[in-house]
Amino acid sequence: MQKPAPSDFPVHELIRDRWSPRAFADKLVPQDVLRSIFEAARWAPSSFNEQPWAYIVATKDEKDNFEKILSVLVEFNAQWANGAPVLGLAVAKLAFANNNAPNRNAQYDTGAATALLSVEATARGLAVHQMAGFDPEKARQVFGIPAGWAPIAAVAIGYPGDPASLPPPLKDRELAPRTRKSIAEFVMAGKWGHTASFAAK
């Protein structure tokens, strides 16, 4: 299933076509494709080139590891994420390696890496659904995540599937129109709340 964004202004097709389904096809993601997806994350920009991200990843054919990631998701997400062939956790290192000073951009940079991962996945016919709905403390315990690192998001990766495979409430969300704020609502100039002239319709 494709669900292109109804953009107000032209954007690249990879941005237009990227979306976050909950229905995934019963199809494993080849290892070479996974390598390219995480290679894209590798080349994300970061403050002082710190690259403060790490990913804990499990494919569905690694049953024990897959179940471990499922176990840290909230119930709502676990019910559909179980159908994805790849699950992961994005983790951010909160201090700089060279001086242990707090890195206030660590989560921002990890988000940038995951965004590039998502674009690369879209280019390869895959979809990525990022989730805030998981238990960070349980993730820390289950995976032995060390102090100074923060699990910040879960991700489901796979080929988009049939919305009919979802229970009715989730199927309705899957088929609902995509919506976003207009750029006039968040692009400002001069002072807070003043819409930039180019963003106003």
Q: Is the pLDDT of residue 1 over 80?
A: no
Is residue 114 situated within a structural domain? yes
Is residue 96 situated within a structural domain? yes
pLDDT confidence bin for 2, thresholds 50/70/90: confident
| Count of domains for the chain | 1
Give the residue numbers spanning the domain of 62: 20-177
Is residue 115 situated within a structural domain? yes
Is residue 185 situated within a structural domain? no
CATH of the domain at 71: 3.40.109.10
Instruction: Report the amino acid identity of residue 131.
Output: M
Is residue 186 situated within a structural domain? no
Give the residue carrying structure tokens 């990913």: 55
Is residue 147 situated within a structural domain? yes
Is residue 5 situated within a structural domain? no
Is residue 84 situated within a structural domain? yes
171 burial level (CB within 10 Å; 0-12, 13-18, 19+): middle
Residue 13 confidence (pLDDT): 96
For 176-201, the pLDDT digits (tens) are 999 999 999 999 999 999 999 999 87
Residue 195 DSSP code: B
69 burial level (CB within 10 Å; 0-12, 13-18, 19+): buried
